[in-house]
């Protein structure tokens, strides 16, 4: 009986259809896995950029500044000018740079940690999907 069925053009077409269907399903699965990895990477990079932007903005102190009224000219004597420059300190500039560097390092550390946790989560999801399939 099997010999008769194998000669039948309809059964040959059905076999070819099944083979092509399996190949298409495999290709679709591979494409969805690649897309998932690409989207995950894009989300991580986007999150890193947004986090870095907000941290730098927060620590650098640059924000929206309200429009100020025109300043009035003040006549300053030399003595007042010298006293003002002597009392100014460059420490806020250094502190700001240190804060920015620390914020950058903390951001990199937290993003690395988040990436590892995300990949662990995706692996567990992948394992549960493969366990559910017969």
* Tally of domains in the chain: 1
Given a cut of 60, is residue 55 above it in pLDDT? yes
Decide if 86 is inside a domain: no
Decide if 9 is inside a domain: yes
Decide if 73 is inside a domain: no
What's the CA gap between 110 and 97, in Å, rounded? 20
Decide if 82 is inside a domain: no
Given a cut of 80, is residue 88 above it in pLDDT? no
Question: What's the pLDDT at 18?
Answer: 95
Decide if 11 is inside a domain: yes
- Exposure pattern of 114-132 as b/e (b: 16+ CB <10 Å)? ebeeeeeeeeeeeeeeeee
Cβ(101)–Cβ(52) below 8 Å: no
Question: What's the pLDDT at 80?
Answer: 61
Question: What's the pLDDT at 1?
Answer: 42
Q: Angle at CA 115, nearest 5°, toward 96 and 36?
A: 135
Domain that holds residue 103: 2-61+92-132
Decide if 81 is inside a domain: no
Decide if 15 is inside a domain: yes
Structure tokens, 72:
């009035």
> What would the mean pLDDT of 87-116 be, rounded to a whole number?
74
Decide if 106 is inside a domain: yes
């Amino acid at each position: 009986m099997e010999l008769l069925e194998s000669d039948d053009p309809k059964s040959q077409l059905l076999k070819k259809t099944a083979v092509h269907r399996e190949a298409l399903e495999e290709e679709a699965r591979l494409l969805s896995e690649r897309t998932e990895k690409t989207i995950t990477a894009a989300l991580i990079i986007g999150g890193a950029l947004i986090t870095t932007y907000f941290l730098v903005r927060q620590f650098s102190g640059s924000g929206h500044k309200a429009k100020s009224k025109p300043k009035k000219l003040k006549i300053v004597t030399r003595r007042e000018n010298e006293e003002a420059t002597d009392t100014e300190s460059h420490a806020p500039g250094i502190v700001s740079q240190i804060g920015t560097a620390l914020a950058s390092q903390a951001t990199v550390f937290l993003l690395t940690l988040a990436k590892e946790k995300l990949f662990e989560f995706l692996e567990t999801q992948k394992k549960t999907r493969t366990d559910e399939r017969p």
